[in-house]
Structure formats: C-alpha cells, structure tokens
Homo-oligomer: A and B are copies of this chain.
Amino acid sequence: MTQPLRLGIAGLGTVGAGVVKIIRQKAALLETRCGRPVVISAVSARNKGKDRGVNLTSYAWEDNPVALAQRDDVDVFVELMGGSDGPAKAATEAAIAAGKDVVTANKALLAHHGQTLAETAEAAGRVIRFEAAVAGGIPVIKTLIEGLAGNEITRVMGVMNGSCNYILTRMEDAGLTYQEVFDEANALGYLEADPNLDVGGVDAGHKLALLATIAFGTKVDFNAVELEGIGCITIEDIRQAADMGYKIKLLGVSQMTGRGLEQRMSPCLVPATSPLGQLDGGTNMVVLEGDEVGQIVLRGAGAGMGPTASAVLGDICDIARGLRIPTFGQPAANLAVAPAAVAATPAPYYLRMTLQDRPGALAKVTKALGEAGISIHRMRQYDHDAENAPVLIVTHKTSRRDLDAALAAMTNLDDIQGTPVALRIESV
C-alpha cells in the first residue's frame, strides 16, 4: 500500500484543473491521509495549448482520452469530461477494459450507462466511484452506501440543481418573473448550454436516478424519472405558497411503493420552516430517510470548482486507501428491476387557475374535482379584474391519477383560461 496511486485525468475544465491543483498543493497531506502518495501520471483535454492556471509540464499529455485510460502508468482513470456518450463513455469503457479503476463526476454518463458500466467494472474487479456526480461537494453517495448501510432506506429527497433553486429564490427575493430571472441567470453563465438540463429537471433527474439505485437496490432507470421543470412557476405561485407557509422547490423524491419505484423530479411545495424550505440560493440539500436512523439532512455547495474537486478527491483517497465497494453499494448484476410507480404516493396539491369571471365557472371546477373524488382543503379567489379571476385551491390528499382526471375534465371547460398549474405539497 505504499506504492503511489497513479492517476490519469481526462478533462481539464474548471473541475479538472482544480483537481490537479489540489493534488499538487496537498501532496503531503494526501500522502499522510492515504498512507501512500497520490500522483498524476498523465492528463488529457481537447486543447493542449490553453492556459489553465496550473503547471502541467510534469505530466504526460494524451490528446485522446482513450489512450490516457489505457496507459500502463495509470491506476485510476479520472473522468471529468462530461457528456453521456462520446469520448467520456468510450474512455471509461476503455479504462475498465484495461483494468483501471474509475472516478467520475459525470451524472449523465452514469444515469444513461451506469448500469452497464457498473456490471462491466465489477466483472473485471474494478471500482467506479462518482461522489462528484450528485450534489457536488456533499458526500451523499458515501453516506448512502456506507454510512447508512444498516438501514432500509425509506425515502430519498433532494434539491440538487443549484441553478433552479437560485432562480426560485431570486424570483421571490426580487419579485421578478421566471423569464426575467432565467434570462439573468443565463447571461451570468449559471445555466447549462442547453438550459433544459437545468430548468427542465434533467440534470437533477440524473442525480435522483443514481440515488434511487443505491437507496432501493434497483437497476439505474433514468427513463422512469417523472420530470417536470420549473418553467410553469410564477411569482404569484411563490407568493401564494409563502402566504400559506410554503416554499416552492424543484424537489426530487424517490421511494419504494407497493406499486414499484417512484422517482419524481418536480416543483413541489414544502413547509417554509423545514430544512428544505429554508434552503435559499444555489445550495444543495439531500434528505435521506432510513428505518433506523430516521431523517438525515445534508447541505452544501452543489457545484463549483472547489466543492466538486473535493468530492473527486474523496473518491481518489478512498481508492488510495483500499476501499473497494461495488459502484452502487451491492453487485450491479443483482440489482432488482422495479416497475416504475408513476404518481403512486398520494399527496395534497396546490392548484392555480384563471377563471372567466362569469356565473357558475367556479362551480364547474369544484364539480370536476368532486367527480374525481378530490376534496378541497382551502380555496381562495383573489385580486381579480373584470375579466379574469385567479383561483387557488389546495386539495386534500389525492392520487396524481385522480388529479389528472380532474385536470383533464377542467381543460374542456370554456371557463378556464390556459392550463391550470398543479404542484404537489410534499410532506417533509
């Protein structure tokens, strides 16, 4: 164990350059903690000439990450390129085939191909670690696989896209519309090149699928994640929710139900006084519930060079210290296939709609709800001009199926303008 652990780092963007910097600056500390030196043998990126603010001259350079992954002087392939397919996938596969362990920050790669990659790695006796792929600097993968190994996990929740939480917080604080804050965030470079990855919930959905696999011992099934973005949220929703003691968060929730595995990523109302409700700005939070431990809440930076590099280094140190655990905490080949339980768990819902201000309009809406078996907990009509009456309804607990039936019935009403907004009220 006193042999150095030799890394090949592919991808030298913000995170990659950060990892190189830390390994250079903290060589002595890492050696003390790991009981052996952690060294970089070689690196790879698209543009060799670019100044990354870190001295790379002592490392071999590979233009091709696949060649990097196959080098004899590399024990661990550190994949920080990103992208669910293309070079990241090819190089990760090559690394495993060449007998290397893998550390990756790539949630898209693992959400789409993690099942196959994990099975291949385990058949070859290699480990894949991916702490940086979920919730940035928060060691949630380690907590779930290792710290809570004595628990049946009953529910996993998380606010895992800092950009969305920033947008929702900023709308509330500044009283701006979704579009105004979206444009602002985009201009500041807070959003992915394809903003739907953020605001559509895709990025956070990738993370949820990985957490669900670990928590419930099921095969990775990103396609079963019910995705709903935050584009439907208005400042009015945020204010009405606040008035009732709630905050709106893009919340991922996964739990095992009698009908299968539920994986939802959608804007939800959570109590303003709960840890999730109190989470402002770009910070991430993951809530893990186990039958023994109760509720564990983890909070920290979900992105950025330092936090992400911290997570990558944690994985590297684990491997250096000899930790060898299957990718998802148990053999990937034996993970269960769980049916997708769409909208299985009942909940109260927040509904907002705009009615034509004419006699009987509201009666038709309440009738549609009643016929779907949904009862009303509270209702208010507010702020209305001559033409339109905004109406807000909070239902008692209902299944999403019944709610969808009611919403479908409402859509046929002339009296409703546009599409009603329906947000789940999650009990946290």
Binding site for B on A (CB under 8 A): 18, 22, 26, 29-30, 32-35, 131, 137-139, 142-143, 146-152, 217, 273, 275, 278, 290-301, 304, 306-307, 309-314, 316-318, 321-326, 329-331, 334
Complex contact B137–A294 (CB within 8 A): yes
B contact residues around A34 at 8 Å (CB): 149
Q: What is the distance, in angstroms, from A283's C-beta to the closest C-beta of chain B?
A: 9
Complex contact A137–B296 (CB within 8 A): yes
Complex contact A312–B150 (CB within 8 A): yes
Complex contact A297–B299 (CB within 8 A): yes
* B26, B33, B306, B326: the one within 8 Å of A293 (CB): B306
Q: What is the distance, in angstroms, from A416's C-beta to the closest C-beta of chain B?
A: 39
Copies in the complex: 2
B contact residues around A29 at 8 Å (CB): 152
Complex contact B296–A33 (CB within 8 A): no
Q: What is the distance, in angstroms, from A191's C-beta to the closest C-beta of chain B?
A: 21
B contact residues around A30 at 8 Å (CB): 149-150
B contact residues around A299 at 8 Å (CB): 275, 296-299
In Å, the complex CA distance between A220 and B35 comes to: 20
Scoring A138, A146, A309 by chain B CB atoms within 10 A of each residue's CB, the highest score goes to A146
Complex contact A297–B294 (CB within 8 A): no
Residue in chain B with minimal CB distance to A300: B296
Given A35-B326, A146-B317, list of 15 further CB < 8 A pairs?
A: A22-B292, A29-B152, A32-B330, A138-B296, A142-B143, A142-B146, A146-B314, A149-B313, A150-B312, A151-B310, A292-B310, A293-B301, A295-B301, A296-B300, A297-B299
Complex contact B150–A139 (CB within 8 A): no
Complex contact B278–A293 (CB within 8 A): no
* B32, B296, B313, B331: the one within 8 Å of A150 (CB): B313
Scoring A30, A147, A306, A324 by chain B CB atoms within 10 A of each residue's CB, the highest score goes to A147
Complex contact A149–B317 (CB within 8 A): yes
Complex contact B334–A137 (CB within 8 A): no
Complex contact A307–B292 (CB within 8 A): yes
In Å, the complex CA distance between A9 and B225 comes to: 42
In Å, the complex CA distance between A30 and B323 comes to: 17
In Å, the complex CA distance between A273 and B143 comes to: 26
In Å, the complex CA distance between A66 and B311 comes to: 41
Complex contact A143–B146 (CB within 8 A): no
In Å, the complex CA distance between A331 and B32 comes to: 8
Complex contact B292–A137 (CB within 8 A): yes
B contact residues around A310 at 8 Å (CB): 148, 150-151, 290, 292-293
